């Protein structure tokens, strides 16, 4: 929203106020909204991606490959890191801020006529706006990330070419349930009758639920590692990763991704399995486009190197599963060392478990507060750390900018790691532009 004055932000401000209506699970309101917008979601083909960890990266890999293949490709993701326009992209470009604001005001006029019980939430309104924008841009394909869950998420009104479910773990338990089975059932709610489903690496409980749902829906299930797999050939902190992909009908050797972390090779493999499935539906994607798309894909705040020497890493890990993956990746690149962590977490996350995991590898923890009303106070995080690992030194800095300044002032070669929340990652990216 750079260089926009208050008047020019009128649409943005209207949209933000809709969050007051809160989250109410169900699809009636989004269907009502889309019908009044002329059902724009029917104007293009789509792929719908649910899961707990990795769905944004899979979406970016897939969208970049489709774009490289010559398709006008839309990407809808959440949350944003810096500006809301990041969530709505066509061929890798954010919707322009002025155009976004104009669409918000058009949406405001439409919604003004709605009965109270059809007033949309922020996410429902944003989804309707995005789908309408994609229709105006005459996109061929929409790669769409589910916001939360799946079954009742606003994005689940799409009739996709295929569905993808990335690894399922604990998150949003107040809405999705307190067991892996319950959460997986919500994610599997995106599976459509007689469709094709790609499933990434899953815990046994989640795999059972996904398989049962696919069977009930008579959907073809393509799952890891039964139907596709991969092998990492090399991984370098500065040069990215090479891997082989083994699909049902193809083998792609020496694929390259610039995204760091072993889990990104898994995410790339899930995207490649989806590309293979789309090819089976007559959607042609040349191998040259596959290779260039996987290599060109970028996705900020997912083990993103802000600096190589000394290593400074930004990661959006915001739950225990993501934290475990982050630590596994760190130890693969930097074995036998301890790390300086800058941490900010939302209070509705499992922050005690996350701190237990981080403390086992910590040299020092710097606590701060992401710019979000749901943020946990740094004092509370410090108190929990003192209980579970009293020997780990810590500091408290109220502002992310102050915390970042302190982090960068620390001498020595210990890798510095910023994690705990995508909202914190967004705050850091605003401050660290000169490092990128």
Per the prediction, the chain carries an average pLDDT of 93
pLDDT at position 20 is 40
pLDDT at position 436 is 37
d(CA 90, CA 67): 9
pLDDT band at 9 (very low <50, low <70, confident <90, very high): confident
pLDDT at position 431 is 86
Q: Please determine, for residue 3, whether its predicted confidence score (pLDDT) is greater than 90.
A: no
The mean per-residue pLDDT over the stretch 100-114 comes to 96
Q: Is the pTM of this model over 0.85?
A: yes
The DSSP 8-state label assigned to residue 85 in this structure reads G
d(CA 28, CA 30): 6
Alpha carbon 113 to its chain's center = 33
The mean per-residue pLDDT over the stretch 100-115 comes to 96
Cβ 344 vs Cβ 375: under 8 Å: yes
pLDDT at position 417 is 98
* Contacts (Cβ under 8 Å, ≥6 apart) of 434: none
Q: In what order do the strands lie in the sheet with 240-246?
A: 229-236, 240-246, 251-257
Report the share of the chain in percent with pLDDT over 90: 86
pLDDT at position 401 is 94
d(CA 78, CA 61): 15
For 337-358, give the DSSP string. --EEEEE--BTTS-HHHHHHHH
The three-point CA angle 305-306-312 to 5° equals 75
Cβ 340 vs Cβ 414: under 8 Å: yes
Alpha carbon 77 to its chain's center = 7
Residue 309 CB-density burial (10 A; 0-12 exposed, 13-18 middle, 19+ buried)? exposed
Q: Please determine, for residue 173, whether its predicted confidence score (pLDDT) is greater than 80.
A: no
Report the DSSP pairing between strands 339-343 and 251-257: unpaired
Q: Please determine, for residue 380, whether its predicted confidence score (pLDDT) is greater than 80.
A: yes
Name the token pair of 87. Answer: 């969530």
The mean per-residue pLDDT over the stretch 104-126 comes to 95
Q: Please determine, for residue 88, whether its predicted confidence score (pLDDT) is greater than 90.
A: yes
pLDDT band at 172 (very low <50, low <70, confident <90, very high): low
d(CA 225, CA 43): 34
Walk me through the domains of the chain, giving residue ranges and CATH numbers.
Answer: 7-296 (3.40.1190.10), 304-435 (3.90.190.20)
pLDDT band at 19 (very low <50, low <70, confident <90, very high): low
pLDDT at position 121 is 92
Cβ 195 vs Cβ 159: under 8 Å: no
User: Which phi and psi (to 5°) does residue 210 adopt?
Assistant: -65, -45
d(CA 433, CA 302): 16
Cβ 156 vs Cβ 178: under 8 Å: no
The three-point CA angle 223-256-306 to 5° equals 105
Q: Please determine, for residue 22, whether its predicted confidence score (pLDDT) is greater than 60.
A: no
pLDDT band at 434 (very low <50, low <70, confident <90, very high): very low
d(CA 108, CA 33): 11
């Amino acid at each position: 929203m750079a260089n926009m004055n208050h008047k020019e932000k009128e649409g943005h401000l209207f949209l933000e106020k809709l969050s007051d209506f809160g989250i109410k699970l169900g699809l009636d309101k989004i269907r009502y909204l889309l019908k009044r917008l002329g059902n724009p979601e029917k104007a293009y083909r789509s792929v719908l991606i649910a899961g707990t960890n990795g769905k944004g990266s899979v979406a970016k890999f897939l969208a970049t490959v489709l774009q490289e293949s010559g398709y006008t490709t839309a990407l809808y993701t959440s949350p944003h890191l810096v500006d809301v326009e990041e969530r709505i992209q066509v061929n890798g470009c954010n919707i322009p801020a002025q155009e976004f604001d104009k669409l918000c005001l058009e949406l405001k006029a439409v919604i003004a006529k709605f009965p109270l019980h059809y007033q949309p939430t922020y996410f429902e309104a944003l989804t309707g706006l995005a789908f309408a924008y994609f229709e105006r841009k005459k996109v061929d394909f929409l790669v769409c990330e589910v916001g939360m869950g799946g079954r009742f998420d606003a994005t689940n009104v799409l009739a996709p070419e295929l569905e993808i479910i990335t690894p399922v773990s604990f998150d949003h338990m107040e809405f999705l349930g307190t067991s892996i089975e319950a959460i997986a059932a919500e994610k599997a709610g995106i599976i459509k009758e007689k469709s094709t489903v790609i499933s990434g690496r899953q815990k046994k409980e989640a795999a059972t639920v996904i398989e049962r749902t696919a069977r009930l829906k008579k959907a073809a299930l393509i799952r890891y590692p039964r139907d596709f797999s991969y092998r990492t050939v090399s991984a370098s902190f500065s040069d990215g990763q090479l891997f082989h992909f083994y699909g049902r009908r193809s083998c792609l050797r020496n694929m390259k991704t610039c995204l760091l972390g072993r889990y990104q090779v898994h995410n790339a493999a899930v995207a490649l399995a989806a590309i293979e499935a789309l090819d089976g539906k007559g959607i042609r994607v040349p191998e040259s486009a596959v290779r260039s798309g996987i290599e060109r894909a970028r996705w900020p705040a997912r083990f993103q190197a802000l600096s190589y020497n000394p290593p400074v890493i930004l990661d959006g890990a915001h739950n225990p599963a993501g934290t475990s993956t982050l630590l596994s990746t760190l130890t693969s690149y930097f074995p036998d060392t301890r790390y300086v962590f800058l941490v900010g977490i939302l209070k509705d996350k499992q922050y005690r478990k996350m701190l237990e995991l981080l403390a086992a590898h910590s040299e020092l923890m710097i606590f701060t507060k992401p710019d979000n009303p749901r943020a946990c106070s740094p004092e509370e995080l410090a108190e929990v750390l003192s209980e579970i690992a009293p020997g780990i030194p810590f500091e408290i800095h109220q502002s992310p900018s102050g915390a970042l300044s302190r982090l960068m002032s620390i001498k020595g070669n210990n890798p510095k790691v910023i994690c705990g929340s995508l909202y914190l990652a967004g705050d850091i990216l605003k401050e660290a532009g000169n490092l990128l």
